[in-house]
Amino acid sequence: MASGFSSSWLIFIIIFFSFLVFLCAADQDRVTSTSRKLLQHHHHNNDHENNNMDPSQKIFFTIDNLKKGKSMEIYLSPKSPSSSLKSKSTTRLLSREEADSIPFTSSNLSSILQLFSISKESPQAQAMNDTLKLCELEPIHGETKHCATSFESMLDFTRGILGLDTKLRVLSTSFVENPSTKPYLRNYTVVEDPREIFAPKMVACHSMPYPHAVFYCHSQEGENRVFEISLEVGGGGERVEAVGVCHADTSHWDRDHVSFRVLNIEPGTLPVCHVFPPDNFVWVPAYFEIN
Ligand SMILES: *[C@@H]1O[C@H](CO)[C@@H](O)[C@H](O)[C@H]1NC(C)=O
Ligand SMILES: *[C@@H]1O[C@H](CO)[C@@H](O)[C@H](O)[C@H]1NC(C)=O
Ligand SMILES: *[C@@H]1O[C@H](CO)[C@@H](O)[C@H](O)[C@H]1NC(C)=O
Protein backbone atom coordinates (compact mmCIF):
# COMPACT_ATOMS: atom_id res chain seq x y z
CA MET A 1 0.00 0.00 0.00
CA ALA A 2 2.63 2.48 1.10
CA SER A 3 4.91 1.74 -1.83
CA GLY A 4 1.99 1.86 -4.26
CA PHE A 5 1.06 5.21 -2.92
CA SER A 6 4.51 6.69 -3.20
CA SER A 7 5.11 5.43 -6.73
CA SER A 8 1.83 6.88 -7.92
CA TRP A 9 2.83 10.14 -6.29
CA LEU A 10 6.10 10.04 -8.12
CA ILE A 11 4.28 9.55 -11.41
CA PHE A 12 1.96 12.48 -10.73
CA ILE A 13 4.89 14.65 -9.85
CA ILE A 14 6.79 13.68 -12.98
CA ILE A 15 3.74 14.28 -15.15
CA PHE A 16 3.09 17.51 -13.41
CA PHE A 17 6.55 18.89 -13.89
CA SER A 18 6.83 17.82 -17.50
CA PHE A 19 3.57 19.56 -17.93
CA LEU A 20 4.89 22.75 -16.40
CA VAL A 21 7.75 22.77 -18.83
CA PHE A 22 5.10 22.54 -21.49
CA LEU A 23 3.08 25.34 -19.93
CA CYS A 24 6.05 27.63 -20.09
CA ALA A 25 6.46 26.92 -23.76
CA ALA A 26 2.79 27.04 -24.62
CA ASP A 27 1.08 29.65 -26.65
CA GLN A 28 -0.56 31.10 -23.55
CA ASP A 29 -3.14 33.38 -25.06
CA ARG A 30 -4.73 30.77 -27.23
CA VAL A 31 -4.43 27.93 -24.80
CA THR A 32 -6.05 29.83 -22.02
CA SER A 33 -8.71 31.30 -24.20
CA THR A 34 -9.73 27.72 -25.00
CA SER A 35 -9.95 26.99 -21.27
CA ARG A 36 -12.16 30.00 -20.89
CA LYS A 37 -14.46 28.77 -23.67
CA LEU A 38 -14.95 25.57 -21.70
CA LEU A 39 -15.90 27.46 -18.57
CA GLN A 40 -18.55 29.41 -20.37
CA HIS A 41 -20.98 26.58 -19.91
CA HIS A 42 -21.07 27.74 -16.36
CA HIS A 43 -21.06 31.42 -16.59
CA HIS A 44 -22.05 34.22 -18.83
CA ASN A 45 -19.87 34.67 -21.77
CA ASN A 46 -17.89 37.87 -21.60
CA ASP A 47 -16.88 37.51 -25.24
CA HIS A 48 -20.18 38.81 -26.55
CA GLU A 49 -18.53 41.39 -28.72
CA ASN A 50 -16.93 38.53 -30.56
CA ASN A 51 -19.77 37.34 -32.73
CA ASN A 52 -17.72 35.75 -35.46
CA MET A 53 -16.89 32.19 -34.67
CA ASP A 54 -13.43 32.22 -33.13
CA PRO A 55 -11.58 29.08 -34.32
CA SER A 56 -10.51 28.32 -30.74
CA GLN A 57 -14.20 27.68 -29.95
CA LYS A 58 -14.16 24.62 -32.14
CA ILE A 59 -13.52 22.02 -29.50
CA PHE A 60 -17.05 20.65 -29.27
CA PHE A 61 -18.59 17.61 -30.91
CA THR A 62 -21.38 15.13 -30.35
CA ILE A 63 -21.10 11.57 -29.12
CA ASP A 64 -21.78 10.31 -32.66
CA ASN A 65 -18.31 11.53 -33.59
CA LEU A 66 -16.65 9.13 -31.17
CA LYS A 67 -16.23 6.29 -33.62
CA LYS A 68 -13.29 5.04 -35.56
CA GLY A 69 -13.14 6.70 -38.96
CA LYS A 70 -15.16 9.76 -38.02
CA SER A 71 -13.69 13.11 -38.78
CA MET A 72 -14.09 16.36 -36.89
CA GLU A 73 -12.83 19.88 -37.07
CA ILE A 74 -11.03 20.67 -33.79
CA TYR A 75 -8.85 23.47 -32.52
CA LEU A 76 -5.85 22.17 -30.57
CA SER A 77 -2.93 24.39 -29.78
CA PRO A 78 0.21 22.39 -28.98
CA LYS A 79 3.31 23.46 -27.19
CA SER A 80 5.17 25.70 -29.48
CA PRO A 81 8.88 26.13 -28.66
CA SER A 82 9.08 29.31 -30.70
CA SER A 83 6.31 31.00 -28.73
CA SER A 84 8.33 30.62 -25.53
CA LEU A 85 11.02 32.72 -27.14
CA LYS A 86 8.54 35.41 -28.00
CA SER A 87 6.88 35.41 -24.63
CA LYS A 88 8.84 36.89 -21.75
CA SER A 89 6.51 35.59 -19.12
CA THR A 90 6.71 32.03 -17.92
CA THR A 91 3.99 30.46 -15.87
CA ARG A 92 5.57 29.55 -12.59
CA LEU A 93 4.01 27.10 -10.21
CA LEU A 94 4.12 28.36 -6.66
CA SER A 95 4.46 26.24 -3.54
CA ARG A 96 1.51 26.43 -1.21
CA GLU A 97 3.51 28.63 1.16
CA GLU A 98 4.39 31.10 -1.58
CA ALA A 99 0.85 31.06 -2.98
CA ASP A 100 -0.69 31.66 0.43
CA SER A 101 1.54 34.66 1.00
CA ILE A 102 0.15 36.48 -2.07
CA PRO A 103 -3.40 37.87 -2.09
CA PHE A 104 -5.68 36.24 -4.63
CA THR A 105 -8.85 38.31 -4.69
CA SER A 106 -10.06 40.92 -7.13
CA SER A 107 -10.35 43.41 -4.26
CA ASN A 108 -6.56 43.15 -3.91
CA LEU A 109 -5.87 43.46 -7.62
CA SER A 110 -3.87 46.68 -7.34
CA SER A 111 -1.45 45.26 -4.79
CA ILE A 112 -1.12 42.05 -6.83
CA LEU A 113 -0.32 44.11 -9.93
CA GLN A 114 2.34 46.02 -8.00
CA LEU A 115 3.86 42.82 -6.73
CA PHE A 116 4.27 41.49 -10.27
CA SER A 117 5.18 44.92 -11.71
CA ILE A 118 2.26 44.83 -14.13
CA SER A 119 0.69 48.06 -15.29
CA LYS A 120 -2.97 48.62 -14.40
CA GLU A 121 -3.90 49.45 -17.99
CA SER A 122 -2.22 46.44 -19.57
CA PRO A 123 -4.00 43.50 -21.21
CA GLN A 124 -2.34 41.25 -18.61
CA ALA A 125 -4.03 43.21 -15.83
CA GLN A 126 -7.37 42.79 -17.59
CA ALA A 127 -6.78 39.05 -17.97
CA MET A 128 -5.85 38.75 -14.30
CA ASN A 129 -8.97 40.62 -13.29
CA ASP A 130 -11.05 38.28 -15.47
CA THR A 131 -9.41 35.25 -13.88
CA LEU A 132 -10.02 36.53 -10.35
CA LYS A 133 -13.64 37.40 -11.15
CA LEU A 134 -14.25 33.97 -12.68
CA CYS A 135 -12.71 32.35 -9.60
CA GLU A 136 -14.97 34.41 -7.33
CA LEU A 137 -18.25 33.58 -9.07
CA GLU A 138 -20.62 31.34 -7.18
CA PRO A 139 -20.65 27.81 -8.57
CA ILE A 140 -23.60 26.97 -10.80
CA HIS A 141 -26.15 24.32 -9.89
CA GLY A 142 -24.41 21.00 -9.20
CA GLU A 143 -20.90 22.41 -9.56
CA THR A 144 -18.15 22.31 -6.94
CA LYS A 145 -15.23 24.54 -7.81
CA HIS A 146 -11.93 25.82 -6.52
CA CYS A 147 -9.19 27.92 -8.06
CA ALA A 148 -5.92 26.28 -7.15
CA THR A 149 -2.77 28.39 -6.96
CA SER A 150 -0.51 25.49 -6.01
CA PHE A 151 -0.20 21.79 -6.77
CA GLU A 152 -0.99 20.95 -3.12
CA SER A 153 -4.16 22.96 -3.30
CA MET A 154 -5.21 21.21 -6.53
CA LEU A 155 -4.61 17.82 -4.92
CA ASP A 156 -6.52 18.74 -1.76
CA PHE A 157 -9.53 19.82 -3.76
CA THR A 158 -9.35 16.73 -5.99
CA ARG A 159 -9.09 14.41 -2.98
CA GLY A 160 -12.04 16.16 -1.39
CA ILE A 161 -14.14 15.26 -4.43
CA LEU A 162 -12.79 11.84 -5.42
CA GLY A 163 -12.22 10.60 -1.86
CA LEU A 164 -9.29 10.84 0.53
CA ASP A 165 -8.40 7.16 0.13
CA THR A 166 -8.89 7.00 -3.61
CA LYS A 167 -5.85 6.60 -5.77
CA LEU A 168 -5.81 9.28 -8.39
CA ARG A 169 -5.07 9.18 -12.05
CA VAL A 170 -4.43 12.31 -14.05
CA LEU A 171 -5.18 12.58 -17.77
CA SER A 172 -4.23 15.23 -20.24
CA THR A 173 -4.20 15.73 -23.98
CA SER A 174 -0.82 15.29 -25.62
CA PHE A 175 0.67 15.56 -29.05
CA VAL A 176 2.48 12.34 -29.79
CA GLU A 177 3.77 12.97 -33.28
CA ASN A 178 4.47 16.02 -35.37
CA PRO A 179 3.07 18.67 -33.06
CA SER A 180 0.99 21.12 -34.94
CA THR A 181 2.10 24.35 -36.43
CA LYS A 182 -0.43 27.07 -37.12
CA PRO A 183 -3.26 26.98 -38.02
CA TYR A 184 -4.38 24.97 -35.02
CA LEU A 185 -7.83 24.28 -36.41
CA ARG A 186 -7.64 20.96 -38.26
CA ASN A 187 -9.81 18.16 -39.48
CA TYR A 188 -8.84 15.26 -37.26
CA THR A 189 -9.80 11.66 -37.92
CA VAL A 190 -10.60 9.33 -35.05
CA VAL A 191 -8.14 6.50 -35.73
CA GLU A 192 -9.36 3.96 -33.15
CA ASP A 193 -12.60 3.47 -31.31
CA PRO A 194 -12.28 5.84 -28.32
CA ARG A 195 -11.53 4.19 -24.97
CA GLU A 196 -13.94 5.12 -22.23
CA ILE A 197 -12.34 5.66 -18.82
CA PHE A 198 -14.46 4.46 -15.94
CA ALA A 199 -14.95 7.65 -13.97
CA PRO A 200 -17.98 7.87 -11.69
CA LYS A 201 -16.54 11.24 -10.62
CA MET A 202 -14.01 13.51 -12.21
CA VAL A 203 -12.31 16.82 -11.54
CA ALA A 204 -11.29 19.00 -14.47
CA CYS A 205 -8.62 21.64 -13.92
CA HIS A 206 -8.32 24.38 -16.52
CA SER A 207 -5.27 26.63 -16.56
CA MET A 208 -6.07 30.32 -16.37
CA PRO A 209 -4.18 33.42 -17.53
CA TYR A 210 -2.19 34.71 -14.57
CA PRO A 211 1.46 35.55 -13.78
CA HIS A 212 1.77 32.28 -11.87
CA ALA A 213 0.01 28.98 -12.47
CA VAL A 214 -3.68 29.07 -11.58
CA PHE A 215 -6.06 26.21 -12.26
CA TYR A 216 -9.81 26.53 -12.20
CA CYS A 217 -10.76 23.07 -10.92
CA HIS A 218 -14.31 21.87 -10.83
CA SER A 219 -16.53 18.90 -10.63
CA GLN A 220 -20.02 18.70 -12.02
CA GLU A 221 -22.79 16.41 -10.82
CA GLY A 222 -24.50 14.29 -13.42
CA GLU A 223 -23.40 11.86 -16.02
CA ASN A 224 -20.05 12.73 -17.52
CA ARG A 225 -18.26 10.18 -19.68
CA VAL A 226 -14.51 10.47 -20.11
CA PHE A 227 -12.75 9.20 -23.21
CA GLU A 228 -9.25 8.83 -24.56
CA ILE A 229 -9.42 9.64 -28.24
CA SER A 230 -6.65 8.96 -30.75
CA LEU A 231 -6.77 11.58 -33.45
CA GLU A 232 -4.75 12.06 -36.56
CA VAL A 233 -4.57 14.65 -39.25
CA GLY A 234 -4.98 12.91 -42.60
CA GLY A 235 -2.00 11.67 -44.55
CA GLY A 236 0.07 10.50 -41.58
CA GLY A 237 0.43 13.98 -40.16
CA GLU A 238 0.07 15.12 -36.60
CA ARG A 239 -1.19 12.62 -34.04
CA VAL A 240 -2.87 13.56 -30.77
CA GLU A 241 -3.92 11.47 -27.81
CA ALA A 242 -6.78 13.62 -26.67
CA VAL A 243 -8.81 13.47 -23.49
CA GLY A 244 -12.45 14.26 -24.03
CA VAL A 245 -15.60 14.37 -21.96
CA CYS A 246 -19.27 14.12 -22.86
CA HIS A 247 -21.77 15.88 -20.61
CA ALA A 248 -25.11 14.11 -20.76
CA ASP A 249 -27.19 16.86 -19.22
CA THR A 250 -26.72 20.37 -20.51
CA SER A 251 -30.13 21.64 -19.45
CA HIS A 252 -28.62 23.97 -16.77
CA TRP A 253 -26.08 25.48 -19.11
CA ASP A 254 -26.21 29.04 -20.22
CA ARG A 255 -28.29 29.22 -23.42
CA ASP A 256 -25.55 31.38 -24.90
CA HIS A 257 -22.93 28.75 -24.33
CA VAL A 258 -20.66 28.56 -27.33
CA SER A 259 -21.06 24.78 -27.71
CA PHE A 260 -24.73 25.19 -28.66
CA ARG A 261 -23.70 27.58 -31.40
CA VAL A 262 -20.86 25.37 -32.60
CA LEU A 263 -23.08 22.26 -32.68
CA ASN A 264 -26.25 24.12 -33.60
CA ILE A 265 -28.31 22.44 -30.88
CA GLU A 266 -30.52 23.51 -27.98
CA PRO A 267 -29.57 23.09 -24.28
CA GLY A 268 -30.57 19.73 -22.83
CA THR A 269 -31.15 18.00 -26.16
CA LEU A 270 -27.97 16.05 -26.99
CA PRO A 271 -24.88 15.31 -24.89
CA VAL A 272 -22.14 17.86 -25.55
CA CYS A 273 -18.60 16.56 -25.84
CA HIS A 274 -15.33 18.43 -25.95
CA VAL A 275 -11.63 17.74 -25.92
CA PHE A 276 -9.45 19.29 -23.24
CA PRO A 277 -6.66 21.59 -24.37
CA PRO A 278 -3.20 20.18 -23.58
CA ASP A 279 -2.69 22.43 -20.55
CA ASN A 280 -5.71 21.07 -18.68
CA PHE A 281 -5.74 18.21 -16.17
CA VAL A 282 -8.50 15.70 -15.71
CA TRP A 283 -8.39 13.78 -12.43
CA VAL A 284 -10.22 10.48 -12.15
CA PRO A 285 -10.03 7.59 -9.68
CA ALA A 286 -7.31 5.07 -10.62
CA TYR A 287 -8.79 1.61 -10.90
CA PHE A 288 -5.48 -0.18 -11.21
CA GLU A 289 -2.55 -0.83 -8.94
CA ILE A 290 0.79 0.82 -9.52
CA ASN A 291 3.61 -1.17 -7.96
C1 LIG B 1 -6.66 42.83 0.51
O2 LIG B 1 -7.95 43.35 0.64
C3 LIG B 1 -8.46 43.38 1.96
C4 LIG B 1 -9.88 43.93 1.92
O5 LIG B 1 -10.51 43.69 0.73
C6 LIG B 1 -7.58 44.24 2.84
O7 LIG B 1 -8.04 44.19 4.17
C8 LIG B 1 -6.14 43.74 2.77
O9 LIG B 1 -5.29 44.59 3.49
C10 LIG B 1 -5.67 43.67 1.34
N11 LIG B 1 -4.36 43.06 1.30
C12 LIG B 1 -3.37 43.57 0.58
C13 LIG B 1 -2.07 42.85 0.62
O14 LIG B 1 -3.52 44.56 -0.12
C1 LIG C 1 -12.41 44.08 -13.11
O2 LIG C 1 -13.54 43.61 -13.81
C3 LIG C 1 -14.79 44.11 -13.37
C4 LIG C 1 -15.87 43.47 -14.19
O5 LIG C 1 -15.78 42.10 -14.14
C6 LIG C 1 -14.79 45.62 -13.53
O7 LIG C 1 -16.00 46.13 -13.01
C8 LIG C 1 -13.61 46.22 -12.79
O9 LIG C 1 -13.56 47.60 -13.03
C10 LIG C 1 -12.32 45.59 -13.25
N11 LIG C 1 -11.25 46.10 -12.44
C12 LIG C 1 -10.10 46.50 -12.97
C13 LIG C 1 -9.09 47.03 -12.02
O14 LIG C 1 -9.86 46.43 -14.18
C1 LIG D 1 -12.68 20.21 -42.69
O2 LIG D 1 -13.45 19.51 -43.64
C3 LIG D 1 -14.63 20.19 -44.07
C4 LIG D 1 -15.40 19.26 -44.98
O5 LIG D 1 -14.57 18.65 -45.90
C6 LIG D 1 -14.23 21.50 -44.76
O7 LIG D 1 -15.36 22.20 -45.15
C8 LIG D 1 -13.43 22.32 -43.77
O9 LIG D 1 -12.97 23.50 -44.37
C10 LIG D 1 -12.22 21.56 -43.25
N11 LIG D 1 -11.60 22.34 -42.19
C12 LIG D 1 -10.29 22.54 -42.13
C13 LIG D 1 -9.81 23.34 -40.97
O14 LIG D 1 -9.50 22.12 -42.94
Give pLDDT tens digits for 183-241: 788 899 999 999 999 899 999 999 998 999 999 999 988 899 999 999 998 766 789 99
Q: How many A from CA of 140 to the centre of ligand 2? A: 21
Q: The whole model's pTM is what?
A: 0.82
Over the range 127-150, which residues count as b (16 or more CB within 10 Å of their CB) and which as e? Answer: bbebbbebbeeeeeeebebbbbbb
pLDDT of the residue at 15: 58
Ligand 1 atom closest to residue 110's alpha carbon, by position in its atom list: 14
Ligand 1 atom closest to residue 107's alpha carbon, by position in its atom list: 5
Distance from C-alpha of 153 to C-alpha of 224, rounded to nearest angstrom: 24
Distance from C-alpha of 87 to C-alpha of 28, rounded to nearest angstrom: 9
Pocket mutation for ligand 3, best pick of 187, 188, 262 (most atoms within 8 Å of C-beta): 187
pLDDT of the residue at 83: 34
Q: How many A from CA of 35 to the centre of ligand 2? A: 20
Q: Which residues of the chain have pLDDT under 70?
A: 1-34, 37, 40-52, 78-90, 180, 235-236, 288-291
Residue nearest to atom 1 of ligand 3 (CA): 187
Side by side, the strands of the sheet bearing 203-208 are: 143-148, 214-220, 203-208, 281-285, 168-171
pLDDT of the residue at 7: 61
Ligand 2 atom closest to residue 129's alpha carbon, by position in its atom list: 1
pLDDT of the residue at 9: 61
In the chain, where the domains are located: 2-290
Give, as one character, the DSSP assignment of residue 105.
S
Reduced to 3 states, what is the DSSP secondary structure of residue 26?
Answer: strand
| Residues with C-beta less than 6 Å from any ligand 1 atom | 103, 107-108, 111
